[in-house]
Amino acid sequence: MAGEAVQKRRRFLQGVLGAAVTSFFVPIVYGMGRFFSFEGSPIAGASLKMSAADLTPDAPSKLIEIGGEPVIVVRAVDNSVHAYTATCPHLGCVVTYQAENPGFFCKCHNGKFDAKGVNLPGSKPQEPLKELVLKSQADDLEVFLTPIKQA
Amino acid sequence: MEQSNTTAISGGTSKHPTELHSGPHSESVAELLHVGEISNGLHLHEVAQALHLKQLQDAIKQKSVPKHGSSIWYYMGGLTMFFIVIQVVSGLMLLVYFEPTTQLALKSTAMLENQVPYGWLVRSLHSWTAHAVLLMTLLHMFSAYFMKAYRPPREILWVSGVALFAIVMGMGYTGYLLPELSGKTLRQFFALHVGVLPGLLAVLGVLHVVTAGFIGSSTPIGAKVKKRILFFPNYVMSELVVWLVAFAAIFTLSWVMPVAMSAVTSVGPKFTATQWIRPEWFFLFLSQTFRYLSGWIGNSFVLVLFLGWLSIPWLDRRSRKNEKSRAFNYIGIAIILYMTIMTTLGYMTIAQEKDAPKTEQTPPTK
């Protein structure tokens, strides 16, 4: 009987220890999860000014660099101007714009996106290119390294 | 002459490997791993034999730690190691967001501080624990010095320990300015801080700890050993409690008093805050020495001191014979006095410069 009581007490104490260890590590693991899943860039909000006249029907796209990040500015078929991140979401190569068959193309793994930067099914990238905030006044453009919030 | 240098591990029983699992009731690591061999064919049993895991386990079982009046100082080395582990984990976490380029060093630190969830806490932990590593290293080193723990056969522990002290000083020196630096200096300091020095620290640290484990703790000359405590599980458990308390303390400090961000939050022109950038407390005794003795004189002076400090186990001849050596107590006290006075003078110099920031570029008059 005494042995059984000791066993019982031991199991209880082991349970207490296990609970203590768990409650010690759970917040740490939670905090680390939050820490590592952050999405953002130290250069968010940086901008670059350019002229819309640089985008001609012959060369409707221009690759620029904002704070070290490649950005592609495109004059679309409807003549509107848009800016996208030029980094392929697959493995990070720089994409190019193809005017003849409007859309983006990544040479590294044959990644394909439509004219609005949405990844095409069947190609490697699983995410669209991010469209960036662009302010225009007549021909003066200012591209911001800030993604347009999706509705 | 007393025999106080008995090694704590008598292990190394020279059984032939094939006899290892012959005992019917020994729960050896090798036997436990034997199950693994059957299920996955990794031949872990043979690996365990080749690595002498059974002997290692026996050695750990027999290892004991002497208990006497100065036993509390034995915790300082373990605490140093524990804090270094925190530094490795928090440092790797910082590495995920810190960008070591002129344009982004400060900005990425500001992002970490202001946007990344718990980024401020990780940075704060890394900073507070850096102070803790230096403090514990100093306590560990000077307690080993005054307990004459460098006596044979522990010279290697002293030499590797002094080298480790130099390395953690280097870690502190190359670390705390990283967000403020630019260009080549930034790249060099970054390479030293996350590559070269941690590599050396790992190699020498493992050598230091493993050797300490095998040779066992030294007992001060003339100390009365009340009893010996089994290393595992008794001593390890008491050490774990100390670590837990230390973690709680460092975590509370980091949470309640996060590292000052004055320089980092302002993403303005760099080095506007130059007058506030000063050596950390653990470096002041050196920087102050270099103020008085500049150029090769200062370098030679510090080098001679360092080499002398490394050679203590051989210079202290009386301790080598397990005799009391008062002279080396006084030398130790003199060194602590020197470090304390230089640090105080260093703080006074900083206070003067704070009052007159415009004269900061001119060399000190005294």
Residues of B in contact with A42 (CB under 8 A): 99, 104, 107-108, 110-111
Distance from CA of B311 to the nearest CA of A (A): 43
Phi-psi region of A92 (alpha: psi -120 to 50; beta: other; left: phi over 0): left
Residues B71-89: what's their mean pLDDT? 95
Q: Does A30 touch chain B (CB under 8 A)?
A: no
- Any idea what the Cα angle at residue B44 is, between residues B42 and B48, rounded to 5°? 155
- The answer, yes or no, to whether residue B275 has pLDDT greater than 50, is no
pLDDT value of position B260? 65
Residues B244-249: what's their mean pLDDT? 96
The whole-chain average pLDDT of chain B stands at 84
Q: How far is CA B7 from the centre of its chain?
A: 24
Residues B224-243: what's their mean pLDDT? 91
* Residue pLDDT, tens place only, B28-42: 555 555 554 455 567
- The answer, yes or no, to whether residue B268 has pLDDT greater than 50, is no
Taking the alpha carbons at both ends of chain A, their separation in whole angstroms is 68
pLDDT value of position A59? 86
- The answer, yes or no, to whether residue B13 has pLDDT greater than 90, is no
Taking the alpha carbons at both ends of chain B, their separation in whole angstroms is 50
Higher pLDDT: A67 or B94? It is: B94
Q: Is the dihedral of CA B24, B29, B32, B35 positive or negative?
A: negative
Contact B107 A42 (CB under 8 A): yes
For residues B298 and B290, give the distance between their C-alpha atoms in angstroms, rounded to a whole number.
Answer: 6
* Residue pLDDT, tens place only, B99-125: 998 888 888 998 998 899 999 999 999
- The answer, yes or no, to whether residue B366 has pLDDT greater than 50, is no
Tokens of A78: 């409807």
* Residue pLDDT, tens place only, A9-22: 999 999 999 999 99
Contact B117 A31 (CB under 8 A): yes
Find where tokens 């506007």 sit. B272
pLDDT value of position B28? 57
pLDDT value of position A78? 87
Question: Where is A71: in which H helix or E strand?
Answer: strand A69-75
Phi, psi of A104 (to 5 degrees): -110, 155
pLDDT value of position B32? 57
Higher pLDDT: B315 or B69? It is: B315
Question: For residue A66, what is the nearest residue in chain B, using CA coordinates?
Answer: B103
Q: How far is CA B126 from the centre of its chain?
A: 14
Mutate to test the interface with A, among B86, B94, B103 (most CBs of A within 10 A): B103
Residues B177-197: what's their mean pLDDT? 91
Q: Which chain B residues have any C-beta within 8 angstroms of a chain A C-beta?
A: 93, 96-97, 99, 103-104, 107-108, 110-111, 115-119, 121-122
- The answer, yes or no, to whether residue B15 has pLDDT greater than 50, is no
Residues of A in contact with B115 (CB under 8 A): 38, 40
Is A79 exposed, middle or buried, given 0-12, 13-18 or 19+ CB atoms closer than 10 A? Answer: exposed
Contact B117 A32 (CB under 8 A): no
pLDDT value of position B361? 46
Distance from CA of B123 to the nearest CA of A (A): 12
List the single range of B3-12, B144-153, B208-217 with lowest mean pLDDT: B3-12
Contact A35 B115 (CB under 8 A): no
Higher pLDDT: B19 or B160? It is: B160
Each residue of B37-48: b (16+ CB within 10 Å) or e? beeeeeebbeeb
Phi, psi of B44 (to 5 degrees): -65, -30
Contact A40 B117 (CB under 8 A): no
Higher pLDDT: B199 or B268? It is: B199
Share above pLDDT 70 across residues of chain B, in percent, rounded to a whole number:
81
Question: For residue A42, what is the nearest residue in chain B, using CA coordinates?
Answer: B108
